[in-house]
Amino acid sequence: MKDSKTKTVGLIGCGAIGSLIAQAIEKKIVNCDKLVLFDYQKNKAADLKASIDFPTTIVKNLEAMLHLNPSVIIEAASQKAANDYIKPITTKDIHLIIMSSGALIDMNYQSKKIHVPSGAIGGLDAISSAALTQISEVILTTKKNPKAFDMDNTQPKIIYEGNAEDAAKLYPKSMNVASTLSFIVKPTKVQVQLISDPTTNRNTHEIKIKWQFGQMLLRFSNDPHPENPRTSALAAWSAINLLNTLLEK
């Protein structure tokens, strides 16, 4: 770590996920000493700082954040932010947690400092173990309320069918699960079905896998964040868990 005495966490993006992470830091669920905030929308950073009781600094750009020597930085903003900041952060030998995992699809850049949390799904240890042999089929079916897509359909409607890479690009706020899963099962392609379903108030992800020695069926039904129906609270908590692990190194 950059500083063995002081553990500073940088947070890029002060929306729904960023706010949950900041609140966990305030409650001492995360063991750190300082929090640094940056958001393109300055009012979001200011509002988040005002809402928590924890030593917090707002910076105007990434350069200012790097100057404060954070141990870990979390990207919780967008695929564009991830694309723009991956190299500047990791070349400074700082751990980077990427929430917008779709940004990594076309990026030919690798670093041991880049970390992707499990997000709104689990069982990735079992899936990655199966990927060491042979996975023949992966199907991801995701259902969310139409509010997550700014839609108002009154009957379930399939709004996308295709591969995970395109799903993550077309729905960057809703399908980070697809890109994260695709990284784990490479070279097998993940087939995705995305459904806008007014009969559900939860974000549901069902994963079916056929591999050399059997089959897997994993299903996750998560409450959406009240301020952002596109994302699940579990996504933030997976980042919080990963953050703790990195801070302990």
Residue numbers annotated as active site: 205
> What are the distances in angstroms from CA 137 to CA 118, 167, 185?
20, 17, 9
Sign of the alpha-carbon torsion through 235, 241, 247, 249? negative
> What are the distances in angstroms from CA 20 to CA 11, 163, 204, 237?
11, 30, 20, 8
**Segment (H or E) for 3:** none
Strands (E), the chain: 8-12, 34-38, 56-58, 72-75, 95-98, 114-115, 135-144, 157-163, 190-196, 203-211, 214-222, 224-225, 228-232
Closest CA to 11 of 3, 23, 29: 23
DSSP-assigned letter for residue 146: G
**Are 176 and 238 within 8 A, CB to CB?**
no
The pair of three-digit structure tokens given for residue 155, joined into one six-digit string: 């009957």
